[in-house]
Amino acid sequence: MIEMTDVTKIYETKQKLGWFRSEKAAVTAVNSLSLNILPGEIVGLLGLNGAGKTTTIRMLSTLLEPTSGSIEVDGVAMHKNRQAVQQKVNMIAGGERMLYWSLTGRENLHYFGKLYGLGAAQTGREAERLLNEVGLGHAADQPVEQYSKGMKQRLQIARGLINDPQYLFLDEPTLGLDAPIARQLRRTVGRLAKEQGKGILLTSHYPQEVEELCDRVYLLSRGELLLCDKPENIVRQVAGLQTAHLDVTGWNESLRPLLAEHLATSSHQAELVCTEVAVNPAASSEVARLSVQSPSADRMITEMLPWTAQHGLRIVSFASEKPNLEDAIILLSEGKGKAS
């Protein structure tokens, strides 16, 4: 596995004090960060701009030297054998970077294959296989400057796989892509982990993408680790419980203690948070909205159905309200969430 232990990265910058004076200033981009990536696992790295995500990926990719701390890849210390680590890792960036536009897709892969020390025959076989795998076989001899954004990003994936890395770092891989192409790339990433056993670290500005793909998520703020857990656990811890809303007719306030007692004995830690009564013009009757919080709104609705029928209530409609990873990140950025 990849293991990063207490890694800190400090940049030295110059701060102007006037027209002719300046002084050196230290900026800590990553502070005592520890993380690990297992083969076959997709790990998310999330945070607001300036959180240290790209710096972390560049250090793991051997492009940056940590100021302190250690990085090991399958037991190989990066600072002792950088070349051996480079054979095990690769990086794919979003946008249109890391490709040579004047070269064809095939020429790009041949060039990067040589950089990784692959022989001509092996590079040729791998380039052909990867171009077909990402759906670019028909455009292999076309200059990259003529590629669409989606084609360029698919070529980025092929370039990132040219050395058959055990670990792949994806920095905003779907940035600026249309929804269908982004979905296709997410499926490709999932297959790389689940079918080929590659360990993947993903940064993204799209929390729904991370929720869909990632087994675990590291949340960073100003270079420091806030949380590491499964996406659903982070949402529950930071953004709170889910809410089930049931609109019913026949509600009477005398039923409140009975409902509270029913919820208290529920296995889902449920709680009645409010009841709102309004007139339904279509039915010329009062409709009460029962709002119940629990870890699973859908299961709570299923549990509530027999109880409402038993007490003579007729369900008009029901819905579930579920916070997501984006809600959790926003709450943390506003200092309202819990990051214990």
Domains of the chain, earliest start first: 93-163 (no CATH), 241-322 (3.30.70.2040)
Segment 155-212, tens digit of pLDDT: 998 999 999 999 999 998 888 778 888 888 888 899 999 999 999 999 988 888 999 9
Lowest mean pLDDT among 110-114, 129-133, 149-153, 335-339: 335-339
Share of the chain above pLDDT 90, in %: 49
pTM of the shown model: 0.78
Give the C-alpha separation, 223 to 220, whole Å: 6
Consecutive H or E run containing 9: strand 2-16
Helix/strand/coil percent split, the chain, to 5: 35, 30, 30
Per-residue pLDDT band at 96 (split at 50, 70, 90):
low
Segment 283-331, tens digit of pLDDT: 557 888 889 888 888 888 888 889 999 999 999 889 988 888 888 888 8
Q: Which two tokens stand for residue 54?
A: 């790209």
Q: According to DSSP H, which parts of 174-255 are helical?
A: 179-194, 207-213, 231-239
